[in-house]
Amino acid sequence: MKTIGFLTPYRHLPEFNKIVSERFKCLDLSDLIEKEQQHLFKECDYLFVAPNYIGYTITDKLLVGTNINKIITPSTGLNHIQVTKADIVHIKNDPVLTTIWSTAEHNLYLMLKLPRQTENIVEMNSKNLGILGYGRLGSMVKKLGRPLFNKVYTMDKDHNKPEFFKNVDFLSINIDLNEDNRRLIGRKFIKKFAKKLFIVNTSRGEVVDEKEILELLDKKQILGYATDVVQDEHTEGESVLKNSQLDNLTVTPHVGGTAIESQEKAYKRVIEKLEDGK
């Protein structure tokens, strides 16, 4: 029986816990400190890790002297894993994602919360939502936002939609991270908008220039910024947002996808893919 080392808590998920306990030897490393976890990697065939539960990056160096050949992650983002000596089993672009609403709902929560923590409380019904990145998550945000906002505008890879920049009051960032959009959202991009914005990011911290966002917030050139993701989340670097005391900034600890039902779906699906050899 293969051994999975869980860097991520899993016993709170009854269905998933039953499945993995029947099929694998489970080594719960989630309550251990980093050095203790890595000391026990030698007992594992696989590692199971979700990005919101780990404070470091899984690298090839950590796998030296182990039999680990697969890293299992119930996530779409993979920036917490940088390996060449093991396969990564993930759910990026997997059909199960169409059934997982937790991140889109967290996005909505941040949009509702942000104006109420500032001096700019507004009626959402009179405001327009702009969704940057109209993929799976963007379409979910649109479905949730349509009854709440006056109008919903979407923009995907084309960043030249005049009506988007003219009319949007709330900007929801839902783009994938790639080299073309790293630090895309900064002073230059924000200046394109006709109105001062509330901005919500449940994409990746690296698509935002955090230093410029912080400056714009401080000068009230952005009404508010709420994010569930920050730069350098899985490295020794430190996001400039974490220590800010600005009242128009909210940072949540990457909990967008952690609804119990969503975790059950994602965790079970990634184990299915492991067993199917996909």
Q: Tokens 């509330």 appear where?
A: 198
Total residue count of the chain as it appears in this document: 278
Predicted confidence (pLDDT) at residue 238 exceeds the cutoff of 70: yes
pLDDT band at 278 (very low <50, low <70, confident <90, very high): low
Predicted confidence (pLDDT) at residue 226 exceeds the cutoff of 90: yes
The partner residues of 128 in beta bridges, in order of sequence, read 151
Q: Counting beta carbons within 10 angstroms of the beta carbon of residue 194, is it exposed (0 to 12), middle (13 to 18) or buried (19 or more)?
A: exposed
Per-residue pLDDT tens digits for 245-272: 999 999 999 999 999 999 999 999 999 9
Q: Are 50 and 75 in contact (CB under 8 A)?
A: yes
The H-assigned helical ranges of 82-233 are 102-116, 136-145, 162-167, 187-190, 210-218
Predicted confidence (pLDDT) at residue 119 exceeds the cutoff of 90: no
Tell me, what's the pLDDT at 236?
A: 61
Q: Are 254 and 227 in contact (CB under 8 A)?
A: no
Q: Enter the pTM of the model.
A: 0.89
Per-residue pLDDT tens digits for 61-114: 999 999 999 999 999 988 899 999 999 999 999 999 999 999 999 999 999 999
